[in-house]
Amino acid sequence: MAKPTYILGIESSCDDTSAAVIANGKMLSNVVATQKIHEQYGGVVPELASRAHQQNIVPVVHQALVQANIEKKDLSAIAFTSGPGLMGSLLVGTSFAKSLAMGLNIPLIDVHHMRAHILAHFIDVEGQKPPEFPFIALTISGGHTQLVLVHDYFDMELLGETIDDAVGECFDKSGKILGLPYPGGPLFDKLAQQGNPKAFPFPKPKVGPYEFSFSGLKTAVLYFVQKNTAQNPNFIEENIKDICASVQFTIVDYIMDKIKNAVRDTGVNRVAIGGGVSANSSIRQAMVDAKTDLGWDTFIPPFQFCTDNAGMIAMVGQLKYERENFAGYELHAKARMPFTRPAEI
Ligand code: KG4
Ligand code: ZN
* Ligand 1 centre distance from Cα of residue 286 (Å): 17
Coil, strand, or helix at residue 207? coil
For residue 254, the CA-to-ligand 2 centroid distance in Å is 21
Nearest alpha carbon, ligand 1 atom 22: 185
Asked whether 274 lines ligand 1 (CB < 6 A), one says no
pTM beyond 0.85:
yes
Going from N- to C-terminal start, the domains of the chain cover 6-120+308-322, 129-301
Q: What is the mean pLDDT of residues 149-165?
A: 96
Write out pLDDT tens, residues 167-224. Answer: 999 999 999 999 999 999 999 999 999 999 999 999 999 999 999 999 999 999 999 9
Which of 44, 86, 141 to probe ligand 1 with, by most ligand atoms within 8 A of CB?
141
Among 144, 171, 284, say which to mutate for ligand 1: greatest number of ligand atoms within 8 Å of CB: 171
Cα 167 from Cα 291, distance rounded (Å): 23
Q: What is the pLDDT of residue 184?
A: 95
Give the distance (Å) from ligand 1 centre to CA of residue 268: 27
Whether 85 lines ligand 1, by a CB cut-off of 6 Å, is: no
Q: Tell me the HSE value of 117 on the side-chain side, using a 13 A CA sphere.
A: 27
Asked whether the bond before 4 is cis by omega within 30 degrees of 0, the reply is no
Query: What's the mean pLDDT when you consider all of the chain?
Result: 95
pLDDT tens by residue, 230-241: 999 999 999 999
Q: Contact at 8 Å (CB) between 269 and 259?
A: no
Any atom of ligand 1 within 6 Å of the Cβ of 14: yes
Q: Which pLDDT score, from 0 to 100, does residue 308 have?
A: 94
3-state secondary structure of 300: coil
What is residue 155's predicted lDDT score, i.e. its pLDDT? 94
- Number of neighbouring beta carbons within 10 Å of residue 323: 12
Structure letter (DSSP) for residue 218: H
Q: Which atom of ligand 1 is found nearest the CA of 306?
A: 1
Whether pLDDT at 6 is above 70 = yes
| Ligand 1 pocket member 282 (CB < 6 A) | no
State what percent of residues in the chain have pLDDT above 70. Answer: 99
Helix ranges (H only) for 11-109 are 46-68, 87-104
pLDDT above 80 (res 274): yes
Ligand 1 proximity of 172 Cβ (cutoff 6 Å)? yes
CATH of 6-120+308-322, one of 3.50.50.60, 3.30.420.40, 1.10.287.950, 3.40.50.720: 3.30.420.40
Nearest CA to ligand 1 atom 10: 142
Query: In whole angstroms, how far apart are CA 88 and each of 150, 190, 241, 293, 332?
Result: 30, 34, 38, 45, 12
Please give the DSSP secondary-structure letter assigned to residue 331: -
Name the residue type at position 315. Answer: M
Q: How far is the CA of 139 from the centre of ligand 2 (A)?
A: 8
- Of 39, 191, 244, 277, the one to substitute when testing ligand 1's pocket (max ligand atoms within 8 A of C-beta) is 277
The verdict on the CB of residue 301 being under 6 Å from ligand 1 is no
Residue 138: phi and psi, rounded to 5, are -120, 120
Q: Do 6-120+308-322 and 129-301 fold alike per CATH?
A: yes
pLDDT (0 to 100) of residue 338: 85
Q: Which CATH number fits the domain 129-301, given the four candidates 3.40.50.300, 1.10.10.10, 3.30.420.40, 3.40.50.720?
A: 3.30.420.40
**Does the pLDDT at position 140 exceed 80?**
yes
Nearest ligand 1 atom to alpha carbon 13: 7
Q: For residues 294 and 289, give the distance between their C-alpha atoms in angstroms, rounded to a whole number.
A: 8
Name the residue among 65, 64, 39 with its Cα closest to residue 52.
39
Ligand 1 neighbour 11 (Cβ under 6 A) = no
Grade residue 42 by pLDDT with cuts at 50, 70 and 90.
Answer: confident
Q: Which helix (H) or strand (E) holds 215?
A: helix 215-231
**Three-state secondary-structure class, residue 187:** helix
| Inter-helix orientation angle 185-192/281-289, to 10° | 60
DSSP 270-302: EEEEESGGGG-HHHHHHHHHIIIII--EEE---
pLDDT at 344: 61
Look at ligand 1, atom 8, and give the residue with the nearest C-alpha: 276
pLDDT category of residue 339 using cuts at 50, 70 and 90: confident
Tally DSSP H helices, then E strands, for the chain.
9, 10
Task: Tell me the pLDDT tens digit for each residue of 167-178.
Answer: 999 999 999 999
Residue nearest to atom 14 of ligand 1 (CA): 185
The per-residue pLDDT for 244 is 98
What integer is the mean pLDDT of 110-134?
96
What is the pLDDT averaged over residues 122-128?
93
| Ligand 1 and 275: CB distance under 6 A | yes
| pLDDT band, very low/low/confident/very high, at 162 (cuts 50, 70, 90) | very high
Residue 107 is predicted with a pLDDT of 98
Q: What is the pLDDT of residues 72-96, one digit of tens each?
A: 999 999 999 999 999 999 999 999 9
Q: Give residue 345's pLDDT.
A: 57
Contact 178, 242 (CB under 8 A): no
> Does residue 207 come out as left (phi exceeding 0), alpha (psi in the -120 to 50 range) or beta?
beta
pLDDT of 118: 97
Confidence band for 137, pLDDT divided at 50, 70 and 90: very high
